């Protein structure tokens, strides 16, 4: 215990001179951003880029909801509608959720583990630029023909015989570019986390967010090659005369579905586990309590990832397949509910008997289990394959998936934004706007998607540009109104961020009384992160440092920081 | 709040919540009929749809209890333990192994119950009535796991073929009988469907008549229904199949067996006449002017 034997963690006289830690001389201005290999600047690039794509994807969603608000709507043409849902899904998954989590990881993993950068800074920069160019390729297709056969791009519909236009090819190139970006990022995080942790930071003392990023990276390496292979086969099918997915040439459309979902389901956990990690960081800080069941939460992350690789065919319960296969994938999908439930119960137990500081990051972090659980329950219902025969490809699935990805991932991402914005910018976000944003987003999410369960139960299929059943009218209207409330909530946060960048109150290095090492460095952190890397003695190193410094100083101080290196 | 209150052990609290949850589940089961329409899947056309509905309800009630337990404890914890002037300090607890094991086992038990219930209903959903079980260890021995036992009694097998953007139905018999969009079937008959596609993937789905089955080119999929009430049952293609996917509708018209025979006779005659007219036209064209 740190309290038993005080150990020096701060430099006694003058800062040690570390060659590696010396600030790299980076060009000033925009050229600096263009050529940077600093994990923090790359992290900021990731976050800004992905939030821009989030706004684009959101606008696409609003257009779809406008089209569906009333029966027999003629706002957009069928092919435009198909392009909208294809771009929306593709953008949110490949250009927002996965890379925004990579952005947080980029910024925070080295700080949290006490490293000065990631293992391969230049590969890190390459990762970001591949992502950006991937996004440019996808959105450049808007000026020609956008891809319009769904983010799942099922063959043979995506084959040249049925969809000859280049939108599909743009999508294929886009998948390769962002896929390479994500894979390189994953390799970088694994190398960093395995090799560059501060002395004393054993696996059992690693922050839970870092745990989830490690597992996210392993899942990426296991899942992304499957889609890279699948889109390459689609490309050769379309242009070079192969017939991997074409039954008239001896191919099989189900091969595409297996390859796609072998990637596609782990992708869900790639998107949601780091958000869980953010919640596991935020809740204990704001409950002023250690995380409940650290080992259980870390182990359940590993369990979810392992099981997540074994459930892909639950997306294929309605294709011709034997009952044994159906039963296997139902059971494996059920099993995932257990480690997920463990996480939720541990979070609630973390809040229980705490001294909960109800600030904006806590709102979003506590909102995650509250909203995600709806998607979890509907997920278990969908895993019962005879029930899925009714509900597959209906709005019930749309509702399920949005509670998982919005209620889960996006609320986690917003919790992370409110929690770490002061660290990244040195400024606090406005509490009032933050809480307003939370309530608008939560109410908007519930209004938009709760009624979609009923739409699905009453028989409305997904991906239809038009409908005319009178019973669906109230649900569709409520859903559209809800989507605009949700958008207003997101807008409130965007305004908050833009306003607080210049006008927010000064944050100091540790505004929340954090537990992890990123709060030890000034906000924003210096280019070399840490002058001296502290020795880690528990899962809450910052708490140890704070306690120790207070003992040395003999008085209670609000917080402590590494001394800012004087310019020599 | 008296001091003893927040020192109350966690385990009895959890037990209390679980007992309350079970009572609620029983209550929901009692109020079953009130929860139709927007809360349950469509059913009423065919027995398999009814069984899916029942299975859904069981999972749904368990889900509601889980939902209330999670939301209740979450919101209560935040409200009860928010920081207040003079409030208690945060309890520095790092975990509790019995509790951890407890909720793991509880979650696993729910999953076991759901699995058991699913397998109880599976035969009735998957196979037409009286067809004999064909599941993992049914009494009927089949050569392959996905082979369907043939239903006894009055039955009719129809070949369903999905095409952008219409359904084609071919009936058995020596003389050709087929129709587009509307499938006419006799009532009180097990209708078995062999479903495939001749272009992209489609999905056959009439909500009132049970679950959907994807029509995959190069594969044969199967489903069935049995209608007791005459009428028209409507559905939409449920797998994205192109721009007009939303307009790829389907209808099943159930009529009495007598009227079905009458319809089939008329339709066969129509097809025969159309074929003869076409042949005559072709002959005329070949002979030329």
Question: Residue B258: left (phi > 0), alpha (psi -120 to 50), or beta?
Answer: alpha
| B82 neighbourhood in chain A, CB within 8 Å | 356, 358
Give the minimum alpha-carbon distance from B250 to chain A in angstroms, rounded to a whole number.
13
pLDDT in the model for residue B11: 61
Q: Does the CB of B126 have a partner CB in chain A at under 8 Å? A: yes
Tell me if B111 and A344 make a contact (CB, 8 A cut-off).
no
Inspect the interface and report whether the beta carbons of A82 and B114 lie closer than 8 Å.
Answer: no
Q: How far apart are CA B54 and CA B66, in angstroms?
A: 19
Distance from CA of B231 to the nearest CA of A (A): 18
Q: A-chain residues within 8 Å CB-CB of B217? A: 156, 247-248, 253
Tell me which chain A residue has its CA closest to the CA of residue B74.
A348
Show residues of chain B in contact with A293, CB under 8 Å.
Answer: 94-96, 100
Q: Which residue of A has its CA nearest to B62?
A: A377
- Cβ atoms of residues B70 and A403 within 8 Å: no
Q: Tokens in use for A103?
A: 């952005």
Summarised one tens digit per residue, pLDDT across range A423-446 is 999 999 999 999 999 999 999 999
The whole-number pLDDT of residue A311 equals 96
Radius of gyration for chain B, computed over Cα atoms and rounded to the nearest angstrom: 28
Smallest CA–CA distance from B206 into chain A, residue: A459
For A363, nearest residue in chain B (alpha carbons): B78
| Residue tagged 């997101």 (tokens) | A490
Regions of chain B where pLDDT drops below 50: 1-8, 132-141
Cβ contacts of residue A489 below 8 Å, gap of 6+? Answer: A436, A437, A438, A439, A440, A441, A442, A443, A444
**Nearest CA-CA distance, residue A315 and chain B, Å:** 12
Q: Pick from B55, B78, B92: which is nearest to A386 by CB?
A: B55
* Per-residue pLDDT at A11: 47
pLDDT score of B246:
92
- Please count the residues of chain A: 568
User: Which string of DSSP letters, residue by residue, matches A321-382?
Assistant: --HHHHHHHHHHHHHHHHHHHHHHHHHHHHHTT--B---HHHHHHHHHHHHHHHHHHHHHHH
Q: Can you give the pLDDT at residue B13? A: 65
CA atoms within 13 A on the CB side of A312: 20
The answer to whether A82 contacts B200, with C-beta atoms less than 8 Å apart, is no
Handedness of CA A94, A98, A103, A109 (dihedral sign): negative
Number of H helices, E strands in chain B: 4, 10
Strand partners, B254: B185, B231
Does the beta-carbon distance from A162 to B70 stay under 8 Å?
Answer: no
Contact status, residue A183 vs residue A229, Cβ threshold 8 Å: no
A463 neighbourhood in chain B, CB within 8 Å? 240, 245-246
Residue of B nearest to A79 (CA): B243
Residue A197 DSSP SS3: coil
3-state secondary structure of B103: helix
CA distance A402 to A388: 17
CA pair distance A117, A65, nearest whole angstrom: 43
Distance, C-alpha B224 to centroid of its chain: 12
DSSP-assigned beta bridge partners for residue A506: A427
Query: Per residue of chain A (568 residues), what is the pLDDT tens digit?
Result: 444 454 555 544 444 444 454 555 677 788 889 999 999 999 999 999 999 999 999 999 999 999 999 999 999 999 999 999 999 999 999 999 999 999 999 999 999 999 999 999 999 999 999 999 999 999 999 999 999 999 999 999 999 999 999 999 999 999 999 999 999 999 999 999 999 999 999 999 999 999 999 999 999 999 999 999 999 999 999 999 999 999 999 999 999 999 999 999 999 999 999 999 999 999 999 999 999 999 999 999 999 999 999 999 999 999 999 999 999 999 999 999 999 999 999 999 999 999 999 999 999 999 999 999 999 999 999 999 999 999 999 999 999 999 999 999 999 999 999 999 999 999 999 999 999 999 999 999 999 999 999 999 999 999 999 999 999 999 999 999 999 999 999 999 999 999 999 999 999 889 999 999 999 999 899 988 988 889 999 999 999 988 888 888 776 655 566 654 443 3
Measure in Å the smallest separation between the Cα of B255 and chain A Cα atoms: 23
**C-alpha atoms less than 13 angstroms from C-alpha of B103 in its C-beta half-sphere:** 29
How far A60 CA lies from chain B's nearest CA (Å)? 18
Q: Which residue has the tokens 């003629």?
A: A74
Q: Mapped to the 3 state alphabet, what secondary structure does A96-109 carry?
A: HHHHHHHHHHHHHH
Q: SS3 of B215, please?
A: strand
The tens digit of pLDDT for each residue in A199-229 reads 999 999 999 999 999 999 999 999 999 999 9
């Amino acid at each position: 215990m740190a309290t038993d034997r005080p150990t020096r963690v701060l430099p006694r006289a003058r800062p040690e001179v570390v060659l590696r830690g010396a600030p790299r001389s980076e060009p000033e201005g925009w050229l600096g951003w263009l050529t940077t290999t600093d994990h923090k600047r790359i992290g900021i690039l990731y976050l800004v880029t992905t939030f821009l794509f989030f706004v684009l994807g959101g606008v696409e969603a609003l257009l779809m909801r406008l089209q569906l608000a009333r029966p027999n709507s003629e706002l957009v043409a069928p092919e435009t509608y198909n392009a909208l849902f294809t771009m929306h899904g593709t953008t949110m998954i490949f250009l927002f959720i996965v890379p925004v989590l990579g952005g947080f990881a980029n910024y925070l993993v080295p700080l949290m583990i006490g490293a000065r950068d990631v293992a391969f800074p230049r590969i890190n920069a390459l990762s970001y630029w591949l992502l950006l160019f991937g996004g440019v390729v996808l959105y450049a297709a808007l000026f020609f023909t956008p891809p319009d056969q769904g983010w799942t791009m099922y063959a043979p519909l995506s084959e040249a015989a049925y969809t000859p236009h280049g939108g599909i090819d743009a999508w294929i190139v886009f998948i390769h570019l962002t896929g390479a970006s994500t894979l390189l990022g994953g390799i970088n995080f694994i190398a960093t986390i395995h090799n560059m942790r501060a002395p004393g930071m054993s696996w059992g003392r690693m922050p839970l967010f870092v745990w989830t990023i490690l597992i996210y990276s392993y899942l990426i390496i296991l899942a992304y090659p499957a889609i890279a292979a699948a889109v390459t086969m689609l490309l050769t099918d379309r242009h070079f005369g192969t017939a991997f997915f074409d039954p008239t040439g001896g191919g099989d459309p189900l091969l595409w579905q297996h390859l796609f979902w072998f990637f596609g389901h782990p992708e869900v956990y790639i998107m949601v586990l780091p958000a869980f990690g953010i919640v596991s960081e935020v809740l204990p800080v704001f409950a002023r309590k250690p995380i409940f069941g650290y080992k259980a939460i870390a182990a359940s992350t590993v369990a979810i990832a392992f099981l997540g690789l074994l459930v892909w065919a639950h997306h294929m319960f309605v294709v011709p397949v034997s009952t044994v296969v159906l039963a296997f994938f139902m059971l494996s999908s059920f099993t995932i509910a257990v480690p997920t439930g463990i996480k939720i119960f541990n979070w609630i137990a973390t809040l229980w008997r705490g001294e909960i500081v109800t600030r904006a990051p806590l709102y979003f972090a506590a909102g995650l289990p509250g909203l995600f659980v709806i998607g979890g329950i509907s997920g278990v219902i969908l895993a019962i394959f005879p029930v899925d025969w009714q509900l597959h490809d209906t709005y019930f699935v749309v509702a399920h998936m949005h509670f998982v990805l919005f209620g889960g991932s996006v609320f986690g991402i917003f919790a992370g934004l409110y929690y770490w914005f002061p660290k990244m910018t040195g400024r606090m976000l406005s509490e009032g706007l933050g809480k307003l944003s939370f309530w608008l987003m939560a109410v908007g999410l519930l209004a938009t998607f709760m009624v979609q369960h009923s739409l699905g139960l009453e028989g409305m299929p997904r991906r239809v540009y038009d409908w005319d059943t009178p019973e669906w009218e109230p649900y569709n209207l409520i859903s559209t109104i809800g989507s605009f409330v949700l958008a207003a909530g997101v807008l409130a946060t965007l305004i908050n961020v833009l306003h607080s960048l210049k006008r927010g109150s000064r944050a100091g290095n540790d505004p929340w009384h954090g537990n992890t090492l990123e709060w030890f460095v000034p906000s924003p952190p210096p280019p070399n992160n840490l002058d001296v890397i502290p020795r880690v003695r528990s899962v809450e190193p910052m708490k140890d440092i704070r306690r120790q410094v207070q003992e040395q100083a003999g008085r209670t101080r609000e917080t402590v920081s590494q001394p800012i290196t004087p310019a020599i | 709040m008296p001091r003893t209150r927040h020192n109350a052990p966690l385990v009895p609290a959890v037990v209390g919540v679980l007992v309350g949850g079970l009572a609620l589940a029983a209550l929901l089961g009692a109020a079953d009929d009130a929860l139709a329409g927007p809360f349950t899947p469509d059913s009423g056309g065919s027995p398999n749809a009814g069984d899916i509905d029942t299975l859904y309800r069981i999972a749904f009630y368990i889900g509601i209890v889980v939902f209330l337990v999670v939301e209740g404890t979450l919101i209560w914890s935040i409200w009860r333990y928010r920081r207040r002037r003079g409030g208690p300090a945060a309890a520095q607890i790092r975990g509790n192994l019995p509790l951890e094991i407890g909720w793991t086992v509880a979650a696993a038990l729910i999953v076991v119950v759901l699995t058991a219930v699913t397998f109880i209903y599976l035969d009735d959903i998957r196979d037409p009535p009286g067809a004999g079980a064909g599941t993992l260890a049914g009494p009927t021995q089949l050569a392959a796991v996905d082979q369907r036992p043939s239903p006894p009694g009055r039955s009719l097998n129809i070949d369903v073929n999905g095409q952008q953007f219409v359904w084609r139905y071919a009936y058995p018999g020596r003389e050709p009988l087929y129709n587009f969009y509307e499938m006419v079937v006799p009532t009180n008959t097990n209708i078995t469907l062999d479903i495939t596609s001749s272009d992209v993937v489609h999905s056959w789905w009439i909500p009132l008549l049970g679950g959907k089955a994807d029509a995959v080119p190069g594969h044969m999929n199967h489903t069935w229904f049995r209608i007791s009430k005459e009428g028209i049952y409507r559905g939409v293609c449920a797998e994205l199949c192109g721009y007009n996917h939303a307009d790829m509708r389907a209808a099943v018209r159930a009529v009495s067996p007598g009227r079905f025979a009458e319809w089939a006779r008329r339709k066969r005659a129509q097809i025969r006449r159309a074929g003869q007219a076409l042949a005559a036209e072709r002959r005329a064209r070949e002979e030329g002017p």
